[in-house]
Homo-oligomer: A and B are copies of this chain.
Amino acid sequence: MTNRTWEGLVFIGTSVDGQVARSDGSLDWLVSRGETAGDAGYAEFMERVDVILMGRATYEVARGFEPWPYEATPVVVLSTTLQDDQDDRVRIERGLDEATEVFNGMGARGVYIDGASTIQSCLEAGLVDELTISQVPVLIGAGIPLFRTVPQDIDLTLGRSVVLDGGMVQTTYRVTHD
C-alpha cells in the first residue's frame, strides 16, 4: 500500500440499529433527534479535515444542499460514471488509489470519509484510522447500514464516548491496523 500523508476519519450519525439513512436516503429520523445535540462536535472535527472523500450516492444527496455545505473544504467524489467536469465544486476520482494519490499530493493530513459505501471500501482497504459514530435513540429497521462484511475482524480502540443532548451517544474509536 502507498504510504499516506493523511489519516482517514469517519464522522457519521446512525440509528441504534446501525443505519445511516433510510433506504431512500432520507435522514428525517436523524435530523429530528440530532438537532438538540447542536453541532455535535462537527465544527471541531472539521478543523482536522483537509479534504472530504465521498461516494457517488452521498454526493447525489449533497449536491442538492443549499448552500453547498463544503465551501471551505475540497471535495473528492469517487465515481466511475460521473463526468470530470460536471460540477466544479468537486473533483471526480475513479478509485481509491487515485484518490490516495491526490490526497498525498495535497499533503493532506485529515481526510473526512463520508457515505456508507465509501466508508466500507476504505475500511476494507485499511484507509480508515478513526471512527466517530453518533447514535441517535431510535430503531428504524430497514435502511442503509453503516457496516457490512469485512474481510477479517477489525480491532478498535475506544477513544472517548460522550452523551449529547437528545440522547445521542457519540463514540470515537481508533482503528488498529495489523
Give residues in A with beta carbon < 8 Å to B: 16-18, 29, 123, 131, 133, 135, 137-142, 146-158, 161, 163, 167-169, 171, 173
Given A17-B147, A29-B153, 15 more pairs with CB closer than 8 A: A16-B147, A16-B156, A17-B18, A18-B147, A137-B156, A137-B157, A137-B158, A138-B154, A139-B154, A141-B149, A141-B150, A141-B151, A142-B149, A158-B168, A169-B169
In the complex, are the beta carbons of B133 and A139 less than 8 A apart? no
In the complex, are the beta carbons of B137 and A155 less than 8 A apart? yes
Q: Of B140, B146, B156, B158, which one neighbours A150 at CB under 8 angstroms? A: B140
In the complex, are the beta carbons of B169 and A153 less than 8 A apart? no
Q: Which residue of B has the minimal Cβ distance to A139? A: B154
Q: Of B16, B131, B141, B151, which one neighbours A173 at CB under 8 angstroms? A: B16
